[in-house]
Amino acid sequence: MEDLIPLINKLQSVFKTTGMEEIKLPQIVVVGAQSSGKSSVLESLVKKSFLPRGTGIVTRCPIILQLNQIKEASKKGKHDSKGPDEWCRFSKTPEKTYTDFDEVRHAIEDLQVEMAGDKKGISMEPIILEVFFPNVIDLTVVNLPGIVKIALDGQPWDIEEQVHNLITNYINNESAIILAVSAANADIATSESIKIANKVDPNGNRTIAVVTKLDLMDKGTDAANVLTGEIIKVKLGIIGVINRSQQDINNNTSMEEALRKEEEILRKTYPQIHGIGSPYLAKRLNQILTDHIHQNLPALIRRIAQLSEKCESDLHCLGREISTDAKDCSWLIMETTLQFVKNFREIVHFRPIDVLDDEADLFAVSVNGSFKKLREEIVTDEKSIDTLQIMKALKNTQNFEGFASIEQVFKTIVKKQIMLMASPAIHCAQEVHDLLSLTANKCFEDPRLKYLNRMIKGVVDDLLDDQLKHTITGINEYIKLQTGMIFSSDEVFVRLLTEVLTQRKMNWKSLLMA
């Protein structure tokens, strides 16, 4: 059981690295308004001052704090008994370790600027800080930005909504324990952390409340009725703590001294209440998280097994491992490119191959459909010449003696009809171009070589685009060529023209006399 929390910490780091966010791991999420004492509560758990401080939103992204108790002869995970007793590292840069906690604070500030910008906005991306101490209790805690109600100068206008969405995203997770922090010197009934916790956990089954600043209450008042659960109901308990004051921080009062003062004040002020103070809070959180992990363990194991099986299946589909040897890589690139050319050629030549099933047949049907549509557009063009247009052309070409130039009318009308063929022909060429481009995408499906896939596809698209330009130029030149000389003596042409005139019950004489 004692290894459950370190195991979850490792899984959390792995999932954040691999992007497998769909697994919701058990963790404690700290929620509270600005200046409610969230950071001080976390520092009391670590017994070190390491979190950024100041006014406004100081915590600008989720900080996942993983506390790991160092067992004897396992420092730094290298069994180096000469290494430091207390150290930490960020999951983003695991090769670098910190023993100076002022450096840790500056590193957190720099990471927040990197992820949330140098203004006063926030980021959803978390910072994972692993702490390895011999005197901490194994724990995973997520510190979130403080709840705000209005945007201050320099903050986004919707900062309240952004923070609310960030908090809700974490505490909606059914595997999360909500640690709602409220200050004792404010009315607990107006606590924003309790309010947002009640919204997602109305029965209080996974909420634990922490009341801070017990030493700052008005004289003659105390928080006994709050700590005993008379005012708010949460099933995981209500624990009171006393944080280091700003004066303590300015005076560099040690954590040990602050904890000693806390114990003294609480024993004097609340002697009747058991289970109070920062040391008890750490033990209680460890117990709650361990029990919660144990409760969620069967479902977690099943989910990990499912994902593991899926990953194994994906690895099997990927095939053999790609060697990093230059000679092997060159051979693989050549082999892959040749296979792409073979697959593309088989489809375009309408010869189906087994590995591509019916892709070639589909391509053939699609291309034939484009040409069929082109033929129908040319033959049944709604813009075909009609009788009224012929009569209008004859009248417009009459000379001063009243005779119309039949040859000129004929050439003008026929040339116009020939020019109408250009648009559907170019559209057909574009459709075939798009089909070829789509086919190229289906000829390369090795997920291991995505970059090579993009490179080959880019070259093919460039070639197809270039050939489309030449094809369009060729169509336009061919149409222009056909309008330069009309072979009216062609027997087929004369027969078709006669049939058209006959169908319309007209002859050349009727046209002239119109």
Nearest to 75, CA basis, from 99, 104, 106:
99
Coil/strand/helix, residue 95: coil
pLDDT tens digits, 38-58:
888 888 888 888 888 776 678
Pick the CATH number of 25-283 from 3.40.718.10, 3.40.50.300, 3.40.1190.20, 3.30.70.260: 3.40.50.300
| Cα 189 to Cα 183: distance, rounded to the nearest angstrom | 11
CATH topology of domain 326-513: Four Helix Bundle (Hemerythrin (Met), subunit A) (1.20.120)
Q: What is the DSSP secondary-structure string of 458-482?
A: HHHHHHHHHHHHHHHHHHHHHHHHH
How many percent of the chain have pLDDT more than 90? 10
| Cα 352 to Cα 365: distance, rounded to the nearest angstrom | 13
Coil/strand/helix, residue 363: helix
Structure tokens belonging to residue 217: 């209450």
User: Does the global pTM surpass 0.75?
Assistant: no
Give yes or no for residue 131 having a pLDDT over 50. Answer: yes
Distances, alpha carbon 108 to alpha carbons 116, 189, 267, in Å: 12, 33, 35
Q: Read off the pLDDT of each residue in 163-184 and give the average, rounded to a whole number.
A: 90
Structure tokens belonging to residue 258: 């602050």
| Cα 317 to Cα 373: distance, rounded to the nearest angstrom | 41
Give yes or no for residue 122 having a pLDDT over 50. Answer: yes
Q: Where are the domains of the chain?
A: 25-283, 326-513
The strand pairing partners of 68, in sequence order, are: 132
Name the least confident of 76-90, 224-238, 367-381, 451-465: 76-90
Model confidence band, residue 351 (pLDDT cutoffs 50, 70, 90):
low
| Residue corresponding to tokens 């000129």 | 408
| Cα 421 to Cα 431: distance, rounded to the nearest angstrom | 16
> Looking at residue 211, what is its pLDDT?
92
Strands 127-133, 63-69: pairing kind: parallel
| Cα 118 to Cα 115: distance, rounded to the nearest angstrom | 9
pLDDT tens digits, 227-265:
888 888 888 989 999 988 777 777 777 888 888 888 898
Q: Please, what's the b/e burial string for 490-510 (b: 16 or more CB within 10 A of its CB; e: otherwise)?
A: eeeeeeeeeeebeeeeeeeee
Structure tokens belonging to residue 349: 């030549």
| Cα 178 to Cα 174: distance, rounded to the nearest angstrom | 10
Name the least confident of 162-171, 390-399, 459-468: 390-399
Q: Which residues contact 162 (CB under 8 A, 6 or more apart)?
A: 121, 122, 156
Nearest to 206, CA basis, from 170, 242, 230, 182:
170
Distances, alpha carbon 376 to alpha carbons 367, 370, 381, 424, in Å: 14, 10, 8, 10
Evaluate whether 401 touches 339 at the Cβ level (below 8 Å).
Answer: no
Q: Which residues contact 394 (CB under 8 A, 6 or more apart)?
A: 404, 406, 409, 511, 512, 514
**Range list of H helices, 383-449:** 387-396, 406-419, 422-442
Give yes or no for residue 384 having a pLDDT over 70. Answer: no
Structure tokens belonging to residue 246: 């700003």
pLDDT tens digits, 431-468:
888 888 887 777 766 666 667 777 888 888 888 899 88
